[in-house]
Structure formats: structure tokens, C-alpha cells
Amino acid sequence: METVVRAAAIYLILFVAVRLSGRRTLSELTTFDLILVLIISEAVQQGMVGDDYSITTAALVVVTLVLIDIVLSFVKGHSPFMQKVLEGVPTILVDNGKCLTERMKKARVSEDDIMESARQLRGLERLDQIKYAVLEVGGHITIIPAEQPRRGD
């Protein structure tokens, strides 16, 4: 019983901390993010198993975590509201070449971040070449290029 409670409690704490830390955290593994992932995994391991290193406890922890994951994906699939709560929603940051600065500030995304994605994904050079820049639920930025004017238009 204690093993299941420990595993579930650690899962919940990690979920809340990562979900509410902001989408940009851990979206791309920079050096800082990689260090964070490695340290977090070490910090929670002891909290989940305590001083019990048996195969039984390890199996219980794995089963508990996988089951929580399955239950949450079931809940997400059946409740659009819960899907928003658990995963978040995409947010438009650039609309037809114009930066939505209030949203960018709240999302902690700079114009440089958007232009980096635009160059990487679409080879775009300027902001006015972007129709939409969307901050996705996973923390990455997708770029919809502006329609190019046709020759002769």
C-alpha cells in the first residue's frame, strides 16, 4: 500500500511541478533542462521506493505509474475539458506578421525564439513572412508561413 501511495504521490508532484512551471520548461532539452531531468530522476527515486530495493516494490512502482498514465489518457480522451487541464491548449503568438506581445510575455517567448523556429522549420527570414506562429502544448513553436503572392497578381 505504501509503495503505491509513494509512487502516486511522486507522480502527482512531478506532474503539477512540470505542468505549472510553464510550457517552455523542458520543451527542448538544453543543457540546463538535461541537468534538471537527470537530477529530478535521482531525487524522486528514493522517495518512491524508500529503503526497499526488492523486485516486488520496483514492479509495484512501475505498474502504479503506468496505470496512472493509462487512466489519465482515458480521462483525456473522454473529456475535452480534462484534456485542456492536463495538456494545455495551443496559443497563437504571431498573427499575420504581427507579434501578440502580451501573450508572448506571459508565455515567456521572445521574438528571437519565434524567428529561430521560423528559420529552422521554414527557412523564413522576416516576421512579415509568418502568417501564424503557434506555441503548441508541448512547448515547441510551429510556423505557418504567409501565402506568397502569385506572379502576375
Partner 1 sequence: MNDTFSIHEDIDFQRKTWIAQRVTWAIMALIVLAAIAGMFGGTMSRVERRESSGRLSVTYERVQRHLAPTQVRVSILAEGIQSPSVQISDSIGKVVEQLAVMPAPRLSTLHAAGPIFTFDAIPSVGGRLDIFVELVPISYGSLAGEIALVEADGRPYASVPISVFVLP
Whether 81 contacts 65, CB under 8 Å: no
Sign, CA dihedral 21-22-28-31, equals negative
Q: Which is nearer to partner 1, 26 or 107 (by Cβ)?
A: 107
Binding to partner 1 by residue 153, rule CB under 8 A? no
HEC per residue, 23-92: CCCCCCCCHHHHHHHHHHHHHHHHHHHCCCCCHHHHHHHHHHHHHHHHHHHHHHHHCHHHHHHHHCCCEE
Whether 134 contacts 90, CB under 8 Å: yes
Quick one: which of 38, 70, 89, 121 contacts partner 1 (CB under 8 A)? 89
- From the CB of 89, what's the least distance to partner 1, in Å? 5
The site string for partner 1 over 6-35 (x = CB under 8 A, - otherwise) reads: ---x------xx--xxx-------------
Beta bridge pairs of residue 49: none
- From the CB of 121, what's the least distance to partner 1, in Å? 16
Quick one: which of 84, 98, 119, 126 contacts partner 1 (CB under 8 A)? 84
Binding to partner 1 by residue 94, rule CB under 8 A? no
Binding to partner 1 by residue 88, rule CB under 8 A? yes
Residue 136 neighbours by CB distance under 10 Å: 15
Q: Which is nearer to partner 1, 21 or 70 (by Cβ)?
A: 21
| Span 37-66, contacts to partner 1 by CB under 8 A | 50-51
Amino acid residing at 80:
P
Contacts with partner 1 by CB under 8 A lie at: 9, 16-17, 20-22, 50-51, 84, 88-92, 103, 106-107, 132, 134
